[in-house]
Structure 1
């Protein structure tokens, strides 16, 4: 697989995992998942992890996977690279795994004494990848191992932090986030 093809497939395959956290920021608010509970002297997750944001993120990832499925053949023909269609359980694994990864990162932040919005290098950029890929492999193994070759996984691990930092800076400049990371 040529490098350009690998990059395109990696980006396309990860879109249902890339979008949920952004959608959660836009639709968030409401009841926190942890209900205000604490563990020791800090919140379990914090006010930034809400049921509404989580649900909106998962729905956004699933909707995007559906839209990508509708245009996959046309995109493949236009660019000369066969982009994958998403099996329903693969889309669910990517979207829900992204949200779960972000929730687990919030839990880790609280356990390490970091406040909401505090920087946590590495974890902030790859939390959703570390959970969405294994969850997708568990829910849709045939699809996962066909799409996520070692080369695609390597591109995801390299590309994701760059995209994460870039989109967060844009969201910060647009006033959608309180910090640029």
Structure 2
């Protein structure tokens, strides 16, 4: 398999899980409006239960679709489900960690944090999925380079679609 294609194929559930809360989110914040001991919100209004579970569902479903499109890559539906679920969960947890850090730094909701926004979800997704299936180091390095560009492009797209109030 082409290494560039494999890298994108592997990480697709994480990409979808990370981006879908923009469309599927809203509702009750995950921190229920509570503040941390520093007096700032734990996560903020942008991290909602609906967005989290929506992202987890979308990311996992992407893995199921991938399995039916290319079953030989996974070997079994069970492996595809586990991998997609862990990539999606890792991406969402990485994003939550990023929000927690941004609140500690007193950055407003939606404010860009270069590196943290682009690599936090990716690195967390790769770590969560590591026990189930890995990709070669070269492909991980490729994803570390291209993900910030993809992240920027999808944010601009979401802004132009009216799904986000800022283009970052």
TM-score (norm 2): 0.92
Q: Secondary structure at the match of 1:60?
A: helix
Q: Is the 8 A contact 1:13 1:84 kept in 2?
A: no
Corresponding residue number in structure 1 for 2:137: 150
Corresponding residue number in structure 1 for 2:17: 20
Corresponding residue number in structure 1 for 2:63: 65
Which runs of no fewer than 5 residues in structure 1 stay unpaired?
74-82
Q: Is the 8 A contact 1:9 1:84 kept in 2?
A: no
Give 4+ residue runs of structure 1 displaced > 3 Å after superposition: none
TM-score (norm 1): 0.86
Shift in Å, 1:155 = 0.9
Corresponding residue number in structure 2 for 1:165: 152
Structure 1, residues 115-152: CA drift from partner, whole Å, max 9, x if none? 100110001111111111111113x1xx22xxx10111
How is 1:11-50 mapped onto 2 (pairs within 5 angstroms)? 11-39=8-36, 40-50=38-48
Q: Are positions 1:111 and 2:104 aligned together? A: yes
Shift in Å, 1:88 = 2.3
Which runs of no fewer than 5 residues in structure 2 stay unpaired?
none
CA distance in 2, matches of 1:172, 1:49: 18
RMSD: 1.4
User: Among residues 124, 131, 154, which one is paired with 2:117 in the alignment?
Assistant: 124
Corresponding residue number in structure 2 for 1:8: 5
Structure 1, residues 23-63: CA drift from partner, whole Å, max 9, x if none? 11111111111011101221000011011100000000000
